[in-house]
Structure formats: C-alpha cells, structure tokens
Amino acid sequence: MKIKNIITGISLSAAALTGCQKGDLTSNPNVGSSASATLLLNAISVRLAGGGGSIISGNSVLSTESGNVPETLTGGIYKYDQYILSNYSYYQGTNTYNWSYTATQYDMLKYVVLLEKQAAVQYPSAPNANIYAALAKFYRAYAYIWFTQRVGDIPASEAGDISTPQPKYDTQKDVYKESLNLLDTANTIIGALISGGSISGSSVVDASGDIFGLTYLQWQKIINAYKIRTLISLSKRAIDNSDLQIQAQFAAIVGNPTKYPLPTSNSDNLVFKYNSANAYPLYANAYNVYLNISKTYLDLITANKDPRTFAVATPAPAQITAGKTVSDFSAYVGADPNVGIGSLSTNSGNGLYSFLNYNRYYTSLTGANAEPYILVGYPELCFNIAEGINRGWASGDAGSWYNNGIDASLTLYGLSNGKQLTVADRSGATIGTVTVDVTTFKNNVAYQGGSAGLTQILQQKYIALFLNSNWEAFYNWRRTGIPAFSQGGDGIGTDGNKIPRRWQYPSSEQTENAIKYNASLQSQFGGKDDLTQDTWLTK
C-alpha cells in the first residue's frame, strides 16, 4: 500500500472545515502540521461516516492513497445488501456483484497516527490516558477490521511506519486479536476517566471535532457495542481458536455492565446526521422510479405482516390496479436480484414491483422523515447479544434481547400498535391508509429458541439494518447464509453468477509491495487473488 507516503503529515485548512461533514480535509498529506486533536478527530469521524458507500452515491471518502483503485459502488452498497435494486442502468447502475479491487482505510489510519501524537502533546502528563488516545485506539481497530474483513491478511503492525516502505502482512487472526485488544484498552481508558472523577460521563467529548456529538459514556458504550459486533463476526472461529477467547470476551462484556457499559436505547446510537451541507442521499432524487425494493428484504417483512412494510414501501401498482388494498401485504412485491436489468426494467414499467416510500425517503433535505442513519446502534446490539446467548456464549435470555431489538427497530420507524399510516404511490400521492398492527406481527415472529431461534435473530437483524450500518448486512449473510440472498441468475453478473466472498487487494500492492503481497496470496489462496475464496474469518 504505499504506506511510506501516507502517514507523513497533514495540513488542514479552515476552508475545508466550513462543511465539516463533507469532503476530504487533507489539502496536502505530505506537509507537516500542528493541527489540534479537534480537527484531527473531525477528519477521522468523517471517514467513519463514509464507511464504504452511501445509500445512493456510493463513491464516498474511503482513501486518498496514491496508487489505490477506489471502489465505485454505483447505486450504493444497499444493492449488495439486497435491500434495493436498480431497474435502469443509465440512471441507477446495475445490480451486479462484479467488483474487483477494494479501497483501504489507511487514509483514516494516517489521521489516527497524527491524533495519537497530538493527544500526547495536548496531554503531556497523560499521553496514553486521555479521550483522544482512547478514540484513536477505537479508530485504529476500526481501520484494521474494515480492511481485513474485505480481503484477508493485511499490513497492520508495520502499517504507518515510514521506515518500513514494504510492510509485512499480518494474519487475519492476528489483526483481529490486536483489534480486540485495542477496543478493550479504549474502554478501559474512558472508564478510568469517568470513574476517576476527572470528567463526567455526561460531558460531550468534543463539540467541534466529534460530528456524532457523543458524551464520554456514550462513546464508551459504542466502543463496547462495536466490540460485541466484532466478536459475533468471529463466530466461525470461536471454537478452533481458543487463544482469542471469543466466547469469554463476549461473556465478560455482557455480564459486567459496570466495566463494559453498552447502549441501553436508541438514544445511544452512533448516528450520522444529514444537514444542508450534506443532504440526505435520496433527497430530491429525480430517478426514484428506477429503484425498487428487493425481494430478499420485502419477502421477509411481508411474510410476517411486519408493519415496517407500510413505512418503507409502496404497493406494486399492478397489484392495486388488480383490486388489492394498500393494507394487503401481498400487494407489496419485491424485485429479484437474480433477474437481469432488462427484465427488471420491463417488469417495473409494468407495475410489478414496489418502490421506496417517496414521502419518507425523497422529500426531506436532512432525511427528517426517514429513520436515522445508524452506524453502530442499539437494535443491532440487541440481536448480537441474542445471537451470542443463543450460541451458548453467555448466560441470559436470548428471547428478551431479540424482542428488545425488534421493539427498538420499530421505534425508529415511529410504529406503535393502532397508529394510522398514510400509504402513497411512487410519486407521493396518497392512495389509502392502514392501521399498524404490532401485536399480530410480534405473535408471528415469537422467539422459538434453538436453531430456529438463531435464524429468527439473524433475519430480524437483517431487517433492522435496512439502509443502515454500511456493509453489516452483507457480512452477516456471508458469515451465516441468513437470510438467503438471491444468486445464480443473470442479475448477479459474475462467473457462475455467484456472489463474491471477498475483494481483491488494491492494485498498488502488486507494484509497491509485490514480494510480501505474493507471499500472502500464496499462503491464503494458493497464489491467486481470488474473489470466490473465503478468508480465515469465514471459512
């Protein structure tokens, strides 16, 4: 990765900060700076918010690394999560999974290195025991995990060392081991700051630098929720890698809320807030008619009479024409990702598919009508804890956590029993009303326990991640196969029409770090940078 060039310094201009949630704050990465921890934290937070693609314009800030081939996610990652689909490539791209090279998060890492240095300058008596040092550890772990879960082994322990222009590749296992340690240390630092009385847990960390606006305690909760997510992502390695203590670490967090506080409601969610400088991605989208809701998602919610159906979708026009009412769940029909774009276009034009709720997603510049854009949140945490308990990793009531996750998700959509909702067509014109029936839905998805319960947990987590949390829905599917993603048809667009299991390394690895890159490919994949092979994480 041209690591020798990307962590040598930074200058931040005041002009770049006028829209503090937008754009690349780096004006020249090779010029030194005495940027404050506040400005550096702002730059890092923006990169976390970018995280791998937005709802629609998926080419977000991922890496400005020289020589790197950035990923272009036309139409957003939520096609790959099989939540929405394009039916017309000219305006919304295709739905194919024919990706190749990935980006990295080393651009974030260079800011993390600088934040660590600046934290030591601003807190000389406690260089490793201040809030910026803690957040730097969280973000460092995030950068490592973001990259390794996409490709496999990565440069980590030597990444950022300017004296090592060709850094070694660490095994994916070692990257996760170090990342879990970093997250634990970050929790410990913030916990000590709060318990030591030097800071109130209710104090906002940095009103200028932290675009998420979290308090000390909330950041501690998010770090632990992210660690729970990371541990769950390692479920396939929990038995055969005892030295990682995956199950024990999970149990320790769940069983000790004093040491490891966790989010307790949606008020603790890590949320990206849109504003006039960063409009909600779907706002005023003139091409909304070229997006349909995917069958993978819509079949799950309509099958159980989930009231979120009415919040997110329109009924398929042909179903209403045929005489069905807006309260009939069978009137809501998703498009199949297996189907080629030409057929999707024809079928959509004939009114066979549902569209996104126009008034919810397309009418507010700030996304005020839509559910919040969550990056790490309470509903997902509930399902992750339910999954861990179901797997036997900790004691507790998996069913209660499962129900808490459903309730928290419904709350984000403003859904309660008996509430009246207006249903509109794809242009926003009212075509009817429905009465929300949470009771019937909850009875239909009552937790069953055992393997059936695990499937329920994973399905409801997928539903709760709708248009949120970047790639989490895809990673959960890749790990568990639940829910069943469509593949095998022309719409997938790969050899054999199978969904890839990973990304290829950035092309700069082949030219700048060839010896270690090739050795890593040999040890992992028999010498081929193969998208169809699983990494250690999901084998």
CB atoms within 10 A of CB 258: 7
Instruction: Report the C-alpha gap between 369 and 385 in whole angstroms.
Output: 29
Average pLDDT score over residue span 477-491: 98
Tell me what pLDDT residue 51 has.
64
Average pLDDT score over residue span 524-534: 97
CB atoms within 10 A of CB 28: 12
- Which alpha helices (DSSP H) does 65-130 contain, by range? 89-92, 106-122
Helix (H, G, I), strand (E, B) or coil at 70: coil
Instruction: Report the C-alpha gap between 517 and 224 in whole angstroms.
Output: 33
Average pLDDT score over residue span 398-421: 98
Q: pLDDT higher for 55 or 472?
A: 472
- Decide: 82 and 485 in contact? Cβ < 8 Å: yes
- pLDDT value at 256 more than 90: yes
**Short-list 177, 180, 160, CA closest to 168:** 160
- pLDDT value at 15 more than 60: no
Query: How large a percentage of the chain has pLDDT more than 90?
Result: 81
CB atoms within 10 A of CB 458: 21
Helix (H, G, I), strand (E, B) or coil at 404: helix
Tens-digit pLDDT profile for residues 74-87: 347 899 999 999 99
- pLDDT value at 345 more than 80: yes
Identify the helix (H) or strand (E) that includes residue 431. Answer: strand 430-435
Tens-digit pLDDT profile for residues 173-193: 999 999 999 999 999 999 999
Banded pLDDT at 279 (limits 50, 70, 90): confident
Banded pLDDT at 34 (limits 50, 70, 90): low
- pLDDT value at 257 more than 80: yes
Instruction: Report the C-alpha gap between 472 and 266 in whole angstroms.
Output: 18
- Decide: 512 and 1 in contact? Cβ < 8 Å: yes
Banded pLDDT at 413 (limits 50, 70, 90): very high
* Token pair listed for 395: 């004691």
- pLDDT value at 318 more than 70: yes
Q: Which of the given ranges, 54-68, 100-114, 127-141, has the highest pLDDT on average?
A: 127-141
Residue 31 burial class via C-beta count within 10 angstroms: exposed 0-12, middle 13-18, buried 19 and up: exposed
Banded pLDDT at 421 (limits 50, 70, 90): very high
The DSSP code for 245 is -
Identify the bridge partners of residue 353 per DSSP, sorted by sequence position: none
Tell me what pLDDT residue 89 has.
93
Tell me what pLDDT residue 49 has.
82
* Helix axis angle, 472-480 to 216-233, nearest 10°: 30
Domains annotated for the chain, with CATH where assigned, are 288-480 (1.20.120.840)
The DSSP code for 537 is T
Greatest distance between any 2 Cα atoms in the chain: 73
The values of phi and psi at residue 534, to 5°, are -80, 150
Least confident among 16-20, 277-281, 314-318, 397-401: 16-20
- Full DSSP string of 433-465: EEE--HHHHHHHT----HHHHHHHHHHHHHHHT
* Helix axis angle, 216-233 to 172-195, nearest 10°: 160
Average pLDDT score over residue span 285-301: 95
Summary mean pLDDT of the chain: 89
- Decide: 97 and 500 in contact? Cβ < 8 Å: yes
Q: Strand 270-272 relative to strand 420-424: parallel, antiparallel, unpaired?
A: unpaired
Spatial CB neighbours of 182, under 8 Å, sequence gap ≥ 6: 137, 138, 140, 141
Tell me what pLDDT residue 384 has.
99
- pLDDT value at 276 more than 90: no
Identify the bridge partners of residue 356 per DSSP, sorted by sequence position: 313
- Decide: 293 and 354 in contact? Cβ < 8 Å: yes
